[in-house]
Amino acid sequence: MNIKKNIALSDSGFVFDPSSGDSFSTNPIGLEIIKLMKNGKSADEIKKLITSSYMIDDNSFEKDLYDFVNMLQKLKIAEGEEKK
């Protein structure tokens, strides 16, 4: 799963899709995950990085990440196959 190339991200968590004109706000952790995805990190890599930095177990994070990525796909911010 990749973040679409033209998606604009600001440090405040504002996400702008220039092809649809849609904009969204995400919290700091959402922004961090989108940035990691944009840098080409796989789901496993993101899981490792986040679970080592925050107090969350692997299973809970995996479920949350799955939901989040699903939402990004529905909002057309992310596209393609999920990277393992």
Partner 1 sequence: MKKKKFTIAVTGLNAIDSPGPGVPVIRALRESKLFDVRIIGLSYEALEPGIYMHDLVDKTYQIPFPSTGIDSLLTRLQYINDQENIDLIIPNFDAELFSFIKLVDHLEKKMKIKVFVPTVEQFEERHKANLDEFGKRHKIKVPYSKMIFSTAEIPALKDQFTYPLVVKGKFYDASVAYTPEQAANYFNKISAKWGLPIIIQQFVHGQEVNVTALGDGKGNTIGAVPMRKTYITDKGKAWAGISIEDDKLMSMTKKMIKSSKWRGGLELEIIKTANDDYYLLEINPRFPAWVYFAVGCGQNHPEALVRLAMGEDVKPFKKYDVGKMFIRYSFDLIVDLKEFEKISTLGEL
Q: Please report whether residue 20 would count as binding partner 1 according to CB under 8 A.
A: yes
β-strand pairing of 14-16 with 8-9:
antiparallel
Of 11, 21, 55, 74, the one binding partner 1 by CB under 8 A: 21
Contact range with partner 1 by CB under 8 A, out of 20-28, 40-48, 50-58, 67-75: 20-28
Q: Please report whether residue 6 would count as binding partner 1 according to CB under 8 A.
A: yes
Of 3, 27, 25, residue with least CA distance to 14: 25
Residues 9 and 16: their CA atoms lie apart, in Å, by 7
Query: Contact residues for partner 1 (CB under 8 A)?
Result: 6, 8, 16, 18-21, 23
